[in-house]
Amino acid sequence: MRTAAGKGKIVIISSPSGGGKTTICRRLLRRNRRWVFSVSYTTRTKREGERNGREYYFVDLPEFAQLRRSGFFAESARVHLHYYGTPRRPLDGAIGKGDVVLLDVDVKGAASIKRKYPQALSLFVLPPSKAELRRRLKRRGTETRAQLAVRLNNAIAEMEKYDRFDYIIINKDINEAVTAADHIIKSWTVGVTYFGRNKSKAYPVYR
């Protein structure tokens, strides 16, 4: 198994929307003050409580397109109805300094980052069931009905891709999920290799 030693410490945290990756990222950063978050650019509008430069950099479509053309992003993707991109410079800077850098990206973004940075560690966070995913998406209340339907459909397609990730975390209990992610990342950054990776047993795919 790869370890992070000497090659930068990129940690990709992905999940279908409603899987809980954003909460997990936030809590990991609270527990580990030296870890950094890769702040993406997005064309979606700011939600209540979000701040430009903290959760995302909020830009309009022409600006996003211009940034993408100029090679500003390490990866970018259309997710649901909007565009998202991971800026390259802060990512490479964090790697250069040996920081642990967390990326909260969708499944396509995770695959692109893994291609460019094969040493990255990828974690896939899954809800315990489809019904629970639907409940969580509804509870969040940030989407219209149409957006919710788009997210649910995308989520189910994304869940099928679980076996592309290094580790799968079932987010049944948020505290346990954060602790599991924390342990996996720390073990990986110091080169411990004894974690099991038997993905076929780790998760029953929705069918």
| Interface ranges with ligand 5GP (CB under 6 A) | 17, 40, 44, 75, 77, 79, 84-86, 104-106, 108-109
As a whole number of angstroms, the distance between CA 81 and CA 181 comes to 29
Task: Compute the least distance from the CB of residue 201 to ligand 5GP, in Å.
Answer: 26
Query: Taking the complex as a whole, how short is the minimal distance between the CB of residue 193 and ligand 5GP, in angstroms?
Result: 28
In the complex with ligand 5GP, which residue's Cβ is closer, 9 or 151?
Answer: 151
| Secondary structure of residue 171 in the 3-state scheme | coil
Q: How far apart, in Å, do the first and last CA atoms of the chain sit? A: 30
Q: How far is the CB of 84 from ligand 5GP (least distance, A)?
A: 3
Separation CA 193–CA 205 (nearest Å): 25
177 Cβ contact partners less than 8 Å away, ≥ 6 residues apart? 20, 24, 125, 169, 170, 171
Between 22 and 32, whose beta carbon lies closer to ligand 5GP? 22
Are β-strands 167-170 and 121-126 bridged in parallel, bridged antiparallel, or unpaired? parallel
Cβ distance to ligand 5GP smaller for residue 77 or 102: 77
161 vs 187, beta carbon nearer ligand 5GP: 161
Give least dist CB 36 to ligand 5GP, A.
15
